Amino acid sequence: MSDRQIIVRRRTPRTEGEGLDSRATALDILRRVEEHGAFADLLLGERLPAFAPNDRRLITRLVLGTIAWRGRLDYELAQFTGRPLDGIQPAALAIMRLGLFQLRFLDRVPQHAIVDTAVSLAKRTGDARLAAGFINAVMRRATRETVPLPPREKNEVHHLTVKLSHPRWMVERFIAWFGVEAAERLMAANNEAAPNAIRLNLARGTREDIIARLRAEEFEIGDGGRAPETAILESAARFDSAAYRDGIFHPQSEASQLVVRMLAPSRGAIVADCAAAPGGKSTHLTELVGSNGRVIALDLNLRGLQNARGLAQRLGHRNLDFVRADMSKAAPLRAASLTHVLLDAPCTGFGTLREHPEIRWRLSPDDPARMAALQLRMLSNAAGLVRPSGAIVYSVCSLAPEEGEGVVNAFLSRHPEFEIDRKPPNIGETKDLLDESGTMKTRPDLGGLDGFYAARLVRRAA
């Protein structure tokens, strides 16, 4: 999963109504996410190119922030409206959430402008027009009053649920997994913007040359990442830049890049990526194996494979084969034929709540166990491709133990011919991220990396 979060520099509108088109776009995206199950990052990618850079940052902040803080916003709105929120017309509710988010989190925007903009949005939104007066009254009340958090001493879980805007069951899980203090720190991190990490395409030049070109195109380059191909931007990546079009870089979280680094394929190797869409890790692997190597990108999602092919073309990689396959059933390749296999399995996404805040409102308590059953089947099939002395990296962008060590332990109990590589290659890049067993675990509140679990499993020599 890639990092596309954008931190907004707040500004004060110069005139009433300024930015209405930006807010109307944010509102439309919010409604599609809430009412139609769309994904915010995909919609932002489609809509943002039509706007100037400042408006892009504002729209992104409004969309991701309103979604992330929905629980906290709804807690206040329920008391301001005096009625169950599920009885309020969806468009009107979305407008009030958007307005309240600005009142509470964009403190440099004048409150009267936020209220006026909310009313204007209602008047130009057909199915919310009749609610303009109601929206005006609620927003004006919100400028005068604040709703106190539920007392922590009375019910700590309820307090954290509201304060940090996560579903109650998720708060309970985080506390069970990490303890109260770490859970609170993690949820606070989930509500912050992720680092703007990119992967430099070292097949197109040296790190120094690529960084120089990005700076020439006015990219703000921050501190370097752990791997040579990782860079962290001070501001958002510009997808309308010549550097992006020319395939000089690809947005990809640093933790995602480290997963590929853990596999450490040799130059010229043939590697299988068994859940390849949308192609970030597959194209990373092509750089590591070099032009004499080959990557077989497998995935059940045809559109995802098409996107991966487009990414490979933009980056200039030709050493990929794309195969549609359901790895939960069987691998369409010869058994024990490869030295290196990657399985970044489909998962709940518990570790990516910063980039995909809607996930927290869509997951259910039984999802980790349900995904673990699928992941175990996929790992068993993917591992069957590994020859003796070969390796497979299993990873998920999830914090749920069921999807991480739970899957790996279940796999190892059934396949004694495999063991965890306790000293995986490239250990210098991941040394402080590995536990005593050799597995990598990252969290947003610990170093700012997305939440990943990764284990490198080696097949014993015959």
397 given a catalytic annotation: yes
Q: Are 340 and 350 a contacting pair, CB within 8 Å?
A: no
Helices 70-81, 53-68: inter-axial angle, 10-degree rounding: 70
- DSSP conformation class of 88: S
- How far CA 55 is from CA of 23, 193, 245, 285, in Å, comes to 9, 17, 21, 35
Cis peptide before 84 (omega within 30 of 0): no
Residue 197 to residue 183: CA distance in whole angstroms:
24
Cβ atoms 347, 375 nearer than 8 A = yes
For residue 431, the cross-strand partners are none
Cβ-count burial of 456 within 10 angstroms (0-12 exposed, 13-18 middle, 19+ buried)? buried
> Of 16, 3, 69, 84, whose CA–CA distance to 449 is shortest?
3
401-422 b/e (C-beta count within 10 Å ≥ 16 → b): bbbbbbbbebbeeeeeebebbe
The whole-angstrom separation of Cα 312 and Cα 315 is 5
Q: Provide the strand spans (E) within 71-204.
A: 196-200
What is the C-alpha separation between 312 and 282, in angstroms, rounded?
A: 9
**How far apart are the C-alpha atoms of 267 and 193, rounded to whole Å?**
36
* Alpha-carbon span 151 to 347, nearest angstrom: 34
Q: Enumerate residues 6+ apart whose C-beta is below 8 A from 151.
A: 159
Q: How far is the CA of 439 from the CAs of 145, 240, 324, 412, 425, in angstroms?
A: 49, 38, 29, 14, 12
Edge-to-edge order in the sheet of strand 249-251: 221-224, 230-233, 196-200, 249-251
Quick one: tokens of 78?
A: 């329920």
Neighbours of 270 (CB within 10 A): 17
Retrieve residue 98's tokens. 């958007």
Catalytic residue among 397, 434, 455, 457: 397
Cα 20 from chain centroid (whole Å): 28
**Residues designated as active site:** 397
